[in-house]
Amino acid sequence: MLLRAVLQAAQDRSLIGGVDLDAQVVHSAGFEAFLEPGCDVLDLGSGGGLPGLVLAVGRPDIQMTLLDAARRRVRFLEWAIDQLGVGDRVDAVWSRAESAGNKPGMRERYAHVVSRSFGPPAVTAECARPLLADGGSLVVSEPPGSAGSEDPTRDADPRAGQVRWPDTGLAALGYRPASHVRRSGSMFVELVAAGACPARLPRREGMPAKRPAF
């Protein structure tokens, strides 16, 4: 399978960790259920192409942008796009997420932003928000072992003693309350953008991580 070979190449280059690739393909395919036909999707911090390349192959009807801040990873993604023959509807973009949120043609463009392991909840939610169109959604796969991944009615992270996706913090970024959905044996969180993106976002590079919104 060509996709499997491309992902193996990513793993060989240490762009994907030492995980079972077949299991990761199944996990990445869980994002598909959130994507309506013909939508425009951005993979936030695409890295070695999970879940972006899996979605690009599995959903030939969608337009996909693979965003990453590391030039080395973007060069690999450009090669992978060529190998998979999806260059007519998939782009790799070299940019920090904060900067991408202000780029013409990217700000408030996407119906969905997907994220596998971009960063902590507050950072992921803030960096994704300027990229989402009104009514679009951020879909994040919850890490194994987090309270949200085990029980959608319990969203607290016991290690931090904090709520992972607090309603008040999300509202300040222009989201509705989080929804938890289980797909392919994994828990996903969906955050829907409510209205236009707040004008103060994005903050300058590094600020979402240095001073989290919640």
pLDDT digit string, tens, across residues 131-159: 999 999 999 999 875 544 444 444 444 44
Quote the pLDDT of residue 145: 57
Quote the pLDDT of residue 185: 85
Model's pTM, two decimal places? 0.92
* Structure confidence at residue 160 as a pLDDT band (50, 70, 90): very low
Q: Counting every residue, how long is the chain?
A: 214
Mean pLDDT (the chain) is 92
Distance CA 167, CA 191 (A): 10
* Structure tokens, 16: 């994907």
pLDDT cut 90: percent of the chain above it = 88
Nearest to 109 by CA among 131, 126, 79, 91: 131
The residue-averaged pLDDT of 159-171 equals 81
Helix-helix angle 2-12:21-29, to 10 degrees: 120
Q: Taking 80 as the threshold, does the pLDDT of residue 85 lie above it?
A: yes
The residue-averaged pLDDT of 164-171 equals 98
How distant, in Å, are the alpha carbons of 83, 87, 145, 158 from that of 141?
A: 27, 26, 12, 18
Nearest to 116 by CA among 49, 182, 202, 174: 49
